Amino acid sequence: MEAIVEAKSGPLAPAPPDHVRSVPGGKFLTFSLDREEFGVQILKVVEIIGVLDITIVPHTQEFVRGVINLRGKVIPVIDLRAKFGMPAMAYNDQTCIIVVDVGTLMGIIVDTVQEVHDIDGEDIEPPPSLGQTAGAGFLLGMGKVKDDVKILLDIDRVLNGDELVELPEQVSRSEAARA
Amino acid sequence: MSHAEGNPEPLAALVEKLSAAAPKVEVDDLAVLAKMHGWTEAVCHVTHATGPAHCVPVWEAARLLTQQLESLILGDAEDASTMLTLVIEGVKALNQAVAAMPPDSQMEIVPSAAVDAQTDVSEADESASAAIATVGTEQEPAVVDPVSTERSEPTVTPAEAPTPDEPPYVSEPLVLNKKEEEFLKAFVEEAREHIESIEAALLEVERDAQNEARIDDLFRPFHTIKGMAGFLNLRDVNCLTHEAETLLDQCRKGKRKVSAGLIDTTFDVVDILRAQIDSLAAYLAEPVGDTVPQPPVSGMIGKLRQINAFRMEPQGRIPAPGEAGQSLGDTLVAQGATSREAIDAALAAQETTAAGRKVGEILIESGAATARQVDQALRSQGADAAEAAAAARSGPVGDQSVRIETAKLDALVDMVGELVIAQTQVSAHAVTNDDPKLTKNVSQVTKIVRDVQEVAMAMRMVPIGPTFQKMARLVRDVSRKAGKQVNLAISGEDTELDKNVIQQIGDPLVHMVRNAVDHGIETPEARLAAGKPEIGVVHLAASHQGGNIAIEISDDGKGLDPAVLFRKGVEKGLVEANADLSDQEIFSLIFAPGFSTAAKVTDISGRGVGMDVVKRNIEQLRGRVDIRSEKGKGSSFTICLPLTLAIIDGMVVRVGTERFIIQTITIEQSLRPVAKNITTVQHRGEVLNNRGRLIPLIQLGQLFGLTDRIDPCSAMVVIAHCEGRLIGLVVEQLIGQQQVVIKTLGERFERLRGISGAAILGDGRVGLILEMGGLYAAYNDFRVPRRRSGVAAETSDRDVPALGHTDASAAPTSPGVMQATREMELIPA
């Protein structure tokens, strides 16, 4: 998770991992987290909603905020800040849940939603090589919009990579810590 | 459905049909005229055959009417419309004649089997007969399959027509027509239902061979399957059912006795038929290759043909596959157009002359029958096939139902659930608004929404009867194999429950019924020795109990022997040899994986798989199993299930800011304890003394990391059933009881322990549904963290044996609790 944060300052290496060699351009929804700007493919986005009442689901990973009722569907909500190991921030009226379709519907909590950018394939740099660390797989590439650089996320990998439920050892550890 | 397949119709019914048809009939409406002709002939036959004097006027009226109708149909009448008027008059006369009969004599008169044959062929589907090409002298049955082009109907000319010594049946590769996929799916569904009713009828016939109505019940589904299979070019199924039908028809007409061998053979046919249908269904679900794999049928068809041929009348020949109903000759004879001898002569002539000549042609040439008559017979044959085809398309006539995909129903129920929630929110808003008109309207809507919900739920409900019927077959087979005599008694078969529940309860029931017969009921000798009746009884009962359904499987067999079970449990290492268990706890041992008490493994049961699967399946349905048993008297297993999987009755409780739902079925009681009933061990391991029962208290808030410890005496304790024991959940508030629509949390949360799903609560927020088994397991881990591996972990495992003999249910000073206490002291605060 720290890898992402590191990625912004780290040197850009020319050889991308195989699975991200070519990133087709297209529309990206951009949003901010902490001081960074990220983008997800618009095709993955289902809708953007404000932060609703979130029901806590016990014994889940730290970054799982809980579940919400999306018009009758119960979907998990992930706090991307927590997922990327960024400092937590109280939710405000800018905070949004972006509902994405990654096979199942999931919500991601972001600081603010910005806009939709058309980014050509040639404006997308391969992600920096970070060796075999887990964070590398999360990235599609670095998208250049004018002078800005947006970190384009492979949202499927971000959300589907990890177990949401705590493992039994973790349960007892965290319970013990809370006790 | 032609009445001839059902019970013979009484005279009154025939006359009633005639009276109904007469005013509407047109001169050129041959199909209706043919029907009427059939009915009048039936009336003739009835009255003539029975003969008493008071029947004569009726017979005369019917005779006249028959002749009039005949001339209309054959186009002999000079003035058709006048003749029609005469016919209508004739029907009135017939009516009067019947009315003049002594009242009770009408009841005695029913048509004999011979008349059935006539009405069978003449009472045809009108629209279908219109679709049939007017055929002149074709002997083939009219092909009524306009869709199929892949394979031609296996029509058989008389030259190749099977005779008793024909070559054996050879099954052909089956290629399905893509366009017919929907029909085929419907066929699979219907065929399965028919197979079930065949089995049910077979079992009854076996019990009471004289029951003619039952033989009819047996015959009818075979006939329907045959018709549909013919229509859909399923040659194997068609031919198989045809032979079975021929066999049963002989029984029905009294030409053959219903013997045990015959019933066994029919059961075998049913099995093969089911295999065929299953393989077709599998192929439809997932087509592999170009042809449908077909389980072998030729052996059985050959066997049936032999059986049939043995008893066949010499002039009878087995109609070819694809030929629906009777042969042309039979039809003509039945209609009285020609004699049996003439047909035989024609058949003989056919064999000697050049191939390709039709029996009809020969008959007409020889003057044995008119072209009209042959034509008419062919039409009725075709109509018979068309009728079956129509049945394949539209399902049983008169059954006012529509088939709907379960997925659509589920979606509807889901949406209605949403509607109910939205409605609750609106009405909550309306109450605070203080607008009388709005309040009134909202309450009206509330009522409608509730009705809609009820209807939506009711749509998924189906009676459990057919599931029980399947068990009847099982009991029969298993008891035979085991050399026992067992009767199955069934009650409460009308009890309705959710289709999904019914689908999933099948397997557990099979296991339990099989066990009851194989393990429960003793051999006849042992029963006699024990002073019991020779024949054992397995009783299946279903009933509603509150919002739940209880299915009880009881037997009057030898019962469970706690001593034997306990010894076995010790042998398998499931319990300690010195453990002190209640009978109930010992009984629940049989649900442990790998546990089997059968001394020897039979091919029926006793492999030790089953009961643990049963328990798991039932728990998946959010139900539970209770065992009662008395050694020597019998056992009774009660499965308690929610009515539906979609909605549960839940108690909403609050812990901290979160709300949880506890299924009402699991709750024994809720109470606010007094301090003296709570034994606290180091402020942690709390045990509630409830009327002498020691119940471990689970601090939900702490377990879920939501709150600090809550003092049970200032909160509420919900006592719930959990895998054969009781646990107490400490919650801050009981909010209330309500029905909730269950939502899955999705596979991402599948491994979550203690939570089985979610529901949308009245305010639109999500509430989590608690699951006791997982909760208890999490609670045990919580008290004794696994992190401390080695000695502590092992100890904790041993403290919580599979059986559920928990430390908490023992006295507070028992070593178990002390152990737990010690563990807790080690946890960093």
ipTM of the predicted assembly exceeds 0.90:
no
- Written as one string, the DSSP assignment of B278-339 is HHHHHHHHS--SSSB-----HHHHHHHHHHHHHHS-TT--PPPTT--SS-HHHHHHHTTSS-
Which tokens belong to A175?
A: 């319970």
In this prediction, residue B128 carries a pLDDT of 40
Contacts of A75 in chain B (CB under 8 A): 746
Chain Cα centroid distance, residue A6: 15
Residues of B in contact with A101 (CB under 8 A): none
Instruction: Report yes or no: A51 at the B interface, CB cutoff 8 Å.
Output: no
Write down the pLDDT at residue B298: 79
Write out pLDDT tens, residues B516-546. 888 888 888 888 888 888 889 999 999 887 6
Least CB-CB distance to B781: which of A55, A163, A168? A168
SS3 of residue B605 by DSSP: coil
The pLDDT value given to residue B317: 35
When the pLDDT of each residue in chain B is averaged and rounded to a whole number, the result is 72
The more confident residue out of B700 and B415 is B700
Are B705 and A164 an interchain contact pair (Cβ–Cβ within 8 Å)? no
Nearest residue of chain B to residue A178 (CA atoms): B705
Q: Answer whether residue B3 shows pLDDT above 90.
A: no
What number is the average pLDDT over the span B701-727? 88
From B340, B328, B397, B28, select the one nearest B158 (Cα to Cα): B328
Residue percentage of chain B with pLDDT more than 70: 69
Whether A179 and B778 lie within 8 Å, measured CB to CB: no
CB contact under 8 A, B751 and A69: no
pLDDT value at position A39? 93
| Alpha carbon of B735: minimum distance to chain A alpha carbons (Å) | 17
Q: Do A169 and B787 touch (CB under 8 A)?
A: yes
Please report the pLDDT score of residue B340 as a whole number: 64
Burial of B749 (0-12, 13-18, 19+ CB in 10 A): buried
For residue B804, is pLDDT > 80? Answer: no
pLDDT value at position B330? 57
Q: CB of B670 within 8 A of CB of B718?
A: yes
In 3D space, the residue among B754, B760, B809 whose CA is nearest the CA of residue B777 turns out to be: B754
Q: Residue A172: which CATH number?
A: 2.40.50.180
- Residue A9 domain flag: no
Helices (H) and strands (E) in chain A, counts: 4, 11
pLDDT in tens, B399-421: 577 878 878 887 887 788 778 87
Mean pLDDT over A101-125 rounds to 91
pLDDT value for B71: 76
Weakest mean pLDDT among B104-113, B294-303, B580-589, B761-770: B104-113
Structural contact between residues B467 and B509, judged by C-beta atoms closer than 8 angstroms = yes
Mutate to test the interface with B, among A55, A68, A78, A163 (most CBs of B within 10 A): A55
Q: Is residue B639 helix, strand or coil? A: strand
In a domain, A7, yes or no: no
Tokens 């129920």 map to which residue? B413
Question: Using alpha carbons only, how large is chain B's radius of gyration in Å?
Answer: 35
Contacts of A175 in chain B (CB under 8 A): 702-703, 705, 781-782, 785
pLDDT of A117 strictly over 50: yes
Q: Do A127 and A26 meet the contact criterion of CB atoms below 8 Å apart?
A: no
Q: Could you tell me which residue, B735 or B23, shows the higher pLDDT? A: B735
d(CA B782, CA B823): 11
| CA–CA distance, B601 with A154 (Å, rounded to integer) | 56
C-alpha B111/C-alpha B103 separation (Å) is: 17
Q: pLDDT at position B542, please?
A: 92
Task: Give the chain B residue whose CA is nearest to the CA of A58.
Answer: B704
Q: Please determine, for residue B660, whether its predicted confidence score (pLDDT) is greater than 90.
A: yes
| Closest Cβ opposite residue A171 in set B414, B745, B778 | B778
B379-397 mean pLDDT: 51
Residues B415, A72: C-beta atoms closer than 8 Å: yes
- Give contacts of B744 with chain A, Cβ < 8 Å: 74
Position A58 in a domain: yes
- Indicate the number of domains in chain A: 1
Q: Do A73 and B748 touch (CB under 8 A)?
A: no
Q: With an 8 Å Cβ cutoff, are B749 and A57 in contact?
A: yes
Least confident residue range of B210-219, B759-768, B791-800: B791-800
pLDDT at A156 over 80: yes
- The values of phi and psi at residue A19, to 5°, are -70, -10
Phi-psi region for residue A86, left (φ > 0), alpha (ψ -120 to 50) or beta? beta
CA angle B749, B665, B784 (to 5 degrees): 50
Q: How confident is the model at residue B242 (pLDDT cuts 50, 70, 90)?
A: confident
Q: A99 vs chain B: nearest CA distance in angstroms?
A: 15
Closest chain A residue to the Cα of B743, Cα to Cα? A74
Beta-carbon contacts of A124 under 8 Å, excluding residues fewer than 6 positions away, are A23, A25, A140, A141, A142, A143, A144, A152
The pLDDT of residue B552 is: 92
Q: Compute the count of residue pairs across chains A and B with CB atoms less than 8 Å apart.
A: 108
What is the distance between the alpha carbons of residues B450 and B463, in angstroms, rounded to a whole number? Answer: 23
- pLDDT above 70: residue A78: yes
Q: For testing the chain A interface, which of B420, B748, B760 should be mutated: the one with the most A CBs within 10 Å?
A: B748
User: What angle is formed at CA B606 by the lines to CA B603 and CA B612, rounded to 5 degrees?
Assistant: 125
**Cα nearest neighbour of A174 on chain B:** B705
The CA distances from residue B435 to A13, B211, B444, B446, B448, in Å, are 69, 68, 14, 16, 20
Q: How much is the pLDDT for B607?
A: 43
The residues, any chain, with a CB within 8 Å of residue B315's CB and separated by 6 or more, are B329, B340, B343, B344, B347
Average pLDDT over residues B259-273: 83
Within an 8 Å CB–CB cutoff, is residue A60 touching chain B?
yes
CA nearest neighbour of A158 among A88, A96, A107: A107
Confirm or reject contact between A103 and chain B (CB < 8 A).
Answer: no
Note whether residue A98 is domain-resident: yes
In a domain, A116, yes or no: yes
Mean pLDDT of chain A: 79
A4 within a domain of the structure (yes/no): no
pLDDT at A145: 87
User: A59: which chain B residues are within 8 Å (Cβ-Cβ)?
Assistant: 704, 752-754, 778
Q: How far, in Å, CA of B548 to CA of B773, rounded?
A: 20
Q: For residue A10, tell me if it sits in a domain.
A: no
Mean pLDDT for B451-462 is 84
CA distance A89 to chain B (A): 20
Reply yes or no on whether the pLDDT at A31 is more than 50. yes
Sequence-separated (6 or more) residues with CB below 8 Å from residue B562: B583, B586, B587, B631
A106-125 residues touching B, CB cutoff 8 A: 106
Closest residue in A to B782 (Cα–Cα): A172
Looking only at the bridges linking them, the beta strands covering A139-145 and A96-102 are unpaired
**A111/chain B closest Cα distance in angstroms:** 23
B786/A168 Cβ within 8 A: yes
Task: Report the pLDDT averaged over residues B538-560.
Answer: 86
> What pLDDT shows up at residue B145?
41
Min distance B827 CA to chain A CA atoms (Å):
6
Better-predicted residue by pLDDT, B172 or B346: B172
Amino acid at B461: M
Residues of B in contact with A71 (CB under 8 A): 418
DSSP string, B370-425: -HHHHHHHHHHHHHHHHHHHHHHHH-STT-------HHHHHHHHHHHHHHHHHHHH
Q: Do B760 and A175 touch (CB under 8 A)?
A: no
Examine the pLDDT at B327 and tell me if it is beyond 70. no
Question: Does residue A27 form part of some domain?
Answer: yes
**In terms of CA atoms, which chain A residue is nearest residue B747?**
A104
Sorting pLDDT into bands at 50, 70 and 90, what band is B385?
Answer: low
Q: What is the pLDDT of residue B659?
A: 93
| Residue B800: predicted pLDDT | 34
Q: Is the pLDDT of residue B459 over 80?
A: yes
**Interface check A174 vs B, CB under 8 A:** yes
Higher pLDDT, B297 or B323: B297
Tell me the residues of B at the A interface, defined by beta carbons under 8 Å apart.
414-415, 417-418, 421, 657-658, 702-706, 743-755, 758, 760, 764-768, 778, 781-782, 785-787, 827-829
Predicted pLDDT of residue B370:
63
The band of B322, judged by pLDDT with boundaries at 50, 70 and 90, is: very low
Beta bridge partners of A67: A55, A76
**What residues of chain B lie within 8 A of the CB of A107, using their CB?**
none
**Half-sphere exposure (CA, 13 Å, Cβ side) for B41?**
23
Q: Does A56 touch chain B (CB under 8 A)?
A: yes
Q: Which two tokens stand for residue B451?
A: 């009705």
Region of poorest pLDDT, from A35-44, B117-126, B789-798:
B789-798
pLDDT value for B328: 56
Residues from chain A that touch B760, judged by Cβ atoms under 8 A, are 69, 72, 74
Domain that holds residue A49: 21-126+133-178
pLDDT at B208 over 80: no
Whether the Cβ atoms of residue B570 and residue B594 lie closer than 8 Å to each other: no
C-alpha distance from A69 to closest chain B C-alpha (Å): 6
Average of per-residue pLDDT across B776-790: 60
Q: Give the whole-angstrom CA distance, residue A138 versus residue A8.
A: 13
Rounded Cα distance, B267 and B791, in Å = 59
Mean local confidence (pLDDT), A15-39: 76
Distance from CA of B414 to the nearest CA of A (A): 8
Q: Would you call B743 and A72 a contact, using CB atoms and an 8 Å cutoff?
A: yes
Task: Tell me which chain A residues have a C-beta less than 8 angstroms from the C-beta of B422.
Answer: none
Sort out which chain B residues have CB atoms less than 8 A from A58's CB and list them. Answer: 703-706, 754-755, 768
Half-sphere exposure of B697 (CA within 13 A, CB side): 31
Those residues whose C-beta lies under 8 Å from the C-beta of residue B33, and which sit 6 or more positions away, are B25, B69, B72, B73
Inspect the interface and report whether the beta carbons of A179 and B752 lie closer than 8 Å. no
CA angle B338, B343, B346 (to 5 degrees): 125
Nearest by CB: A68 against B754, B766, B782: B766
Contact call for A172 and B705, based on CB within 8 A: no
Of B33, B36, B31, B29, the residue nearest B62 (C-alpha): B36
d(CA A31, CA A37): 6
